[in-house]
Copies of this chain bind each other. A is one copy, B any other.
Amino acid sequence: MKTKKVNTDELKFGENGLVCVIAQDYESGEVLLQSYMNRECVDKTFASGYVYYYDPASGLPRKKGEASGNTQKVVTAFLDDDKDCLLLKVRQKGFACHTGTYTCFAEQIKGEDNEIGGEMFGKLQRIVEERKKNPEEGSYTSFLFARGIDKIAKKAGEEAVELVIASKNDDNSKVVAEAADFLYHMMVLLAEKGVKLSEVCSELYKRNK
Contact = CB atoms under 8 A, between A and B. Distances in A.
B168 A153 contact: yes
Q: How large is the interface on A (under 10, 10 to 19, 20 to 34, 35 or more residues)?
A: 35 or more
B179 A186 contact: yes
Contacts of A192: 167
Given A33-B80, A78-B106, A189 B177 contact: no
Q: 4 closest A-B pairs (Cβ-Cβ)?
A: A76-B111, A29-B29, A160-B160, A120-B201
A117 B122 contact: yes
Interface in A123-182: 124, 127, 149-150, 152-154, 156-157, 160-161, 163-164, 167-168, 172, 175-177, 179-180, 182
Contacts of A153: 163-164, 167-168
Interface string A28-64: 1111011000000000001000000000000000000
Given A20-B34, A160-B156, A190-B175, A109 B29 contact: no
B207 A112 contact: no
B77 A109 contact: yes
A81 interface: yes
Given A110-B74, A112-B3, A200 B179 contact: yes
Contact of A167 (B89, B116, B152): B152
Contacts of A5: 109
Given A28-B118, A116-B198, A172-B194, 4 more contacts: A78-B109, A120-B205, A121-B121, A160-B160
B156 A176 contact: no
Contacts of A66: none
Nearest to A186: B179
